[in-house]
Amino acid sequence: MKTRALLSLTALLGLAGCATTPQAPPPDENAPPPAVPAQAAAPEPAPQPTRPESVPATPLRQPKPMELVVLARPDTPIVSFRLVFHTGSVDDPKGKEGLTALTAQLMAEGGTQKLSASQLLEALYPMAAELDVFVDKELTTFSGRVHKDFLTRFQDIFTDVLLAPRLDKAELERLRANAISDVENGLRSANDEALGKVALDALLYQGHPYAHFTGGTVQGLKAITLDDVKAHAQRVFTQDRLVIGLAGAVDDALAQALSSRLSALPAKGAPRVELPAVPTTAGRTVIIQKPTLSTAVSMGFVSTIRRGDPDFFPVAFAMSNLGEHRQSIGVLFTELREKRGLNYGDYAYAEHFIESPGTTYNRTNIARTQQDLSLWIRPVVPTNGVFATRGAVFFLDQMVKEGIPQERFELMRGFLQGYTRLWEQTDQRRLGYAIDGLFYGTPDFLEQYRQAMSKMTPQSVQEALRRRVQPEALNFAFVTEDAEGLAQALRSGAPSPITYASPKSEELLTQDQAISSSKLPLRPEAIQVIPAQQFMEK
């Protein structure tokens, strides 16, 4: 930054001309004493923002029933479909958690009235067609992709998945077994990163419909019957919840034909779930105990912003600066991984992040009424778990208090101006963003982001951070083997020094001392340990 020097010039007045100096009159003893100039009042420090007691559930926008989004592109022979229902795991009845996901999977994979499950796969294979489904908290997306030469055949199959699903009992049992295995052998056993994220969800949204894993709980999945699935499909996969998306080699005839076929869905179903406000309780910690060689760390809080809020773009920019997904440019990546060799992944997000398969980008069509800001650190050697956690909080706090230096700010702005172009490089992703824009009220979202970045300054970003991001609001989720040892270390608040196998600079070692003795924003009495085999059981 350039510094401007301010010079103060004193004007000297010379007296001349008179041989004698006039004498001042004697002071009047009855005159009041001269007034003492008032000192300028010191500026008051800016008031610290206070977090609300809860984050309200301001509903997402409701598109028109079967609203159509078309992104025609004549230069491609591929047609992309996205059928997005305002339906998700929040619609799962209590005691039958996982019903929405299991119903959607059975519809997409279990065959149609004309085709068994195996025949469905055999029909799709020679067309090189894609047919998939993804369920999140509030949205369920059936997606498809096919060459235009096979369009008529594929459209019949794709719509039959919704209009005439086979809903076969044997397929239900197969998919139920897979879903239970995903919890018991995947989430609990094989994927510490996903387990930590789901544990953080459960902690942040305790008592809220977001709290349970979208794939369900073990006992919830076991309780689901075929009649439950049939009834649920009629209640939640309805016209009034549906947005129809088409992209690529699309014309009016195709759009009209698809809309006409889907008009056979039930017009209306169950009322949408009314979500409660989420308390902004801070400082809670959950530790999931399981046999594992490393420690995974997730931290975050329920955010007061989502897309469409004026502060969303600057906060998103700042969190990307801290740790854009799988990008070496992030502050946490540089400080924790490169300089200290602590772990592999260090990421930060302004909204809930689910990686789109085969990419480093967020999924589209996971819009949520209430969002969470989060950071992930994994995998960490257990002896360094507390230090790494302190490090992430330290650099988050530093960014909020000190802002982003101008040179660093320009680096990130240039990176994101280009990187956001990759987020919309396929028809499916462009279509996803366009549909998300309906729910959030943010048309041309990525272009809005790029325009906002061109006008941002380090000062405007820091002001948004100070308004909306408070490290003391964090909650923590850990996955580790020595859960009791970690809980004891966290409760004690004792320093967590780190040692290195190779020499480090004095500057880094000095900073390490500050990190290792920093206070984590957690409450010792609010630490709970849960064995992994009990987590998401019911």
Q: Domains of the chain: which residue ranges?
A: 62-262, 280-534
Q: Do domains 62-262 and 280-534 have the same CATH topology?
A: yes
Per DSSP bridges, beta strands 345-349 and 130-135 are unpaired
The pTM of the full predicted model, rounded to 2 decimals, is 0.90
As to burial, measured by CB atoms within 10 angstroms (0-12 exposed, 13-18 middle, 19+ buried), residue 172 is buried
Output the pLDDT for position 47.
Answer: 55
Average pLDDT taken over every residue of the chain? 92
Closest CA to 258 of 165, 166, 164, 156: 156
The residues, any chain, with a CB within 8 Å of residue 333's CB and separated by 6 or more, are 323, 327, 346
**Distance, CA of 431 to CA of 437 (rounded, Å):** 10
In DSSP notation, 236-264 reads HS-GGGEEEEEEES--HHHHHHHHHHHTT
Question: Is pLDDT at 26 greater than 70 in this prediction?
Answer: no
Output the pLDDT for position 50.
Answer: 75
As a CATH number, domain 62-262 is 3.30.830.10
**Distance, CA of 235 to CA of 87 (rounded, Å):** 10
The residues, any chain, with a CB within 8 Å of residue 189's CB and separated by 6 or more, are 290, 532
The string of pLDDT tens digits covering residues 413-442 is 999 999 999 999 999 999 999 999 999 999
Question: Helix, strand or coil for residue 397?
Answer: helix
Question: Is pLDDT at 180 greater than 90 in this prediction?
Answer: yes
The string of pLDDT tens digits covering residues 357-402 is 989 999 999 999 999 999 999 899 999 999 999 999 999 999 999 9
The fourth-level CATH superfamily of domain 280-534 is: Metalloenzyme, LuxS/M16 peptidase-like (3.30.830.10)
Q: What is the CA radius of gyration of the chain?
A: 29
As to burial, measured by CB atoms within 10 angstroms (0-12 exposed, 13-18 middle, 19+ buried), residue 277 is middle
The string of pLDDT tens digits covering residues 80-116 is 999 999 999 999 999 999 999 999 999 999 999 999 9
- The band of 37, judged by pLDDT with boundaries at 50, 70 and 90, is very low
- The band of 43, judged by pLDDT with boundaries at 50, 70 and 90, is very low
Output the pLDDT for position 179.
Answer: 98
Closest CA to 284 of 483, 531, 473: 473
| 392 phi, psi to nearest 5 deg | -60, -45
